[in-house]
Amino acid sequence: MPITFVQRLLGHASLATTGIYTQLADDVTRKIALNTRTALDEVPPAEKSVLREREAVYEVGFEEWDALVEELL
């Protein structure tokens, strides 16, 4: 989803303001996802690489994230 779409949706005059809000939302989402227990947390130690892969998803930079969102849409 283009950031300009989000800018218009939120009614921001400045793209910089939208960038601040989206960065804050990404940080909050990352913290919630990494601190929420799921069925993956019950994986035996031999299979913990699955959990590390989940954490790696949230280490993606903004450019990669935007590209992934565009691909999914």
Residues 6+ apart with CB under 8 A from 12: 18, 21
Rounded Cα gap, residues 68 and 73, in angstroms? 9
Query: Residue 11 has what pLDDT?
Result: 92
3-state helix, strand, coil in the chain (%, to 5): 75, 0, 25
Handedness of CA 18, 19, 23, 26 (dihedral sign): positive
Verdict on whether the full-model pTM lies above 0.75? no
Digit-by-digit pLDDT tens for the chain (73 residues) are 688 888 898 898 988 888 888 887 888 888 888 888 877 677 676 666 666 666 666 665 666 667 766 776 6
Rounded Cα gap, residues 17 and 22, in angstroms? 9
